[in-house]
Amino acid sequence: MDVIHTAVWVDNIERTIEFYTEGLELDVNWEVVNDGVQYVYIGGEHGEIQCKYDPDADYETGAAGGFDHIAIGVENTDEAFETLCEREDPPVHTPPITLSTMNRRIAFVEDPDGYVVELVQQLG
């Protein structure tokens, strides 16, 4: 398993991209729009920041108010989810589902401190 990204909500996607790419010289690795939300993955070889932007949303960003989740790469989302639930019985936010637009199978649970953890399996 690997940590693959930390997700944050942003209120100005262009400003955020400029900060990380021009200011910190990181790369935009890939982008996708899913259900009206723009996802921009910025980072390097060993991890990314998933910047989430929804022009219609009303949410607080900054000072960790926009923190969304930590993503962990797994070989098989269903197996990892079942094992984790058997061993730890975490609160479940989303049981395993497939996101065809992102070519991933995912699930969301909470860690002991209430942080949301996404289990991500790359499909195909």
Q: Which residues are catalytic?
A: 118
Q: How many Å apart are CA 116 and CA 111, to the nearest integer?
A: 6
Nearest to 57 by CA among 92, 12, 124: 12
Q: What is the CA radius of gyration of the chain?
A: 15
- CA pair distance 89, 32, nearest whole angstrom: 32
* DSSP code for 102: T
Write out the H or E segment, with its range, that includes residue 6: strand 2-9
